[in-house]
Structure 1
Amino acid sequence: MMNLEANVILPAVTVLAVTGFVVGCLRMRAKMHRERAEDLRIAHRALDTFYRSVDKVVGDPAVSDDLKLLLLSMGEALQDRAAARYVVHEILMNGFPTRRNGSDSDSIAEGARALAKSRPDMAEEIVKAFKSGMIAMILRWPETATKFKETSAVLADERAEIAAVKKVTRFAMEHNNSHINGAVAA
């Protein structure tokens, strides 16, 4: 009788344990897929926002060619997985200083501030494009999406955000032989 119980109970317990483990793994995997799908939905909305804002900005004569070029270059960088990894690495390892006197980021920030006085609607579109572009770039790729919370602080600081945008667009242009440089009419 004991031999029969051992022959029946042990395999049944083993099957239940393995089944529980498999179900747990499947639930965990399903949760990961739902989270990734949500990241991609947010990235898609951010891309849509980015391109709508860029369309408005590029068509407006009040916006400087430097800002237009930066946005167009950022649009090209959004497609570059290596650029996304690079900017996340730079943010996590080095951060982006918020005070750099005389840097390109300062001159672009000054241009954006001047635009905010004369054309607040365009300044708002530029900020919207920068923020949505960074969100889309980081959430688009699985390896950078996992670092989104850690890198999102850069979106709260104007100078740091501009520095990040310039750095990632420069990286993408150097590594992809960008054709954007001549795209903005003088």
Structure 2
Amino acid sequence: MSGIAWSGSLFVVTTDLSSGNLFTSGDGSHWTVAQAQGVGTQGIAWNGSLFMAVTQDGSVFFSPDGNDWGAQQEYISGYPLYGIFWGGDQFLATGALGAVLQGIPHFSIGGTLNNLYPVSTLVLQNNGGDDLELFNNGSFTFDTLLPNEAGYDVTVSRQPQSPLQECAVSNGSGIIAGTDVDDVVVTPSASTASSPVPM
């Protein structure tokens, strides 16, 4: 075994086997083989919404759930990579001969909120987490950045209550294609209750 990370609900263990297999467990006792990625999976880290792992062939892979893995970038380094760490705003990877890979590309997810009534609030989530409470109409951006080719899925986890509104989400899901996502549109419905007009 070469690395371990904990998401708050799942352990993921990496190995240096040529198969690249990883193992997952919710309790640390019962383990399941996860989809293999790369050659000789080494370090692994969790940033609050995403696992990121590095391999001996210099590749970087990611997974939102520890089971399904995609390539952030294959052969991103000319050296074997052994460790990866989350520094609060970016991943840093370390490798052979003192190599340090800084600023693995990450992109923001955001958009626009329209038609929310004054003094009302709602809570958005991306990929089932990264809660974002909104108080005003206008642009919004989730805190957690995601790597290229990662999926995003913006949903409303708490609808506006004062007055009650039901929100529609447009352009809320997709795959990041090398740029920030800023075209998600969240639109609460008009309320039948007697309320001020949205500002």
TM class, shorter-length: under 0.3
Structure 2 length normalisation: TM-score? 0.21
Which structure features the higher share of helix residues?
1
Structure 1 length normalisation: TM-score? 0.22
Which structure features the higher share of strand residues?
2
Task: Flag the structure with larger Rg.
Answer: 1
